[in-house]
Amino acid sequence: MEKPKHHIFVCASFRVGGAPKGICEKKGSADFLGYLENELIDRGLDGVLVSSTGCLKVCDRGPAMVIYPENIWYGGIDGEDALDEIIDAIENEGVADKYLIS
Ligand code: FES
């Protein structure tokens, strides 16, 4: 496998010990993974990897995700429209300002 150009880490609220505990998982972040992967395929966007991760420690801004290597953090991701904006930003090499955690 080639290294991804962009790696999206979606907070799944996991804590030490593995149990999810936090706002992101409660607000449906687990469903974001499948949506993102399907949308990336539909758009033919290669080189973008999607993974779930433990708590990103920005719970008050969740649901949250971070994209590397850009180190772009997003929060308040409230559904598919938000995810579409974020994928648009990746596609256009920009930033989805509305969800940016600065
Ligand atoms: S649970 Fe997602 S940032 Fe903490």
Domain ranges of the chain: 6-99
pLDDT in tens, 9-26: 999 987 777 676 789 999
Nearest to 23 by CA among 32, 13, 15, 33: 13
* pTM of the model as a whole: 0.92
Q: Are 101 and 61 spatial neighbours (Cβ–Cβ below 8 Å)? A: yes
CA 88 to centroid of ligand 1, rounded, Å: 23
Mean pLDDT along residues 41-48: 95
Rounded CA Rg of the chain: 13
pLDDT in tens, 73-94: 999 999 999 999 999 999 999 9
Q: Which amino acid is at 66?
A: V
CA 57 to centroid of ligand 1, rounded, Å: 5
> Hey, which CATH number is domain 6-99, 3.40.309.10, 3.40.30.10, 3.40.630.30, 3.30.565.10?
3.40.30.10
Nearest to 63 by CA among 18, 9, 23, 33: 23
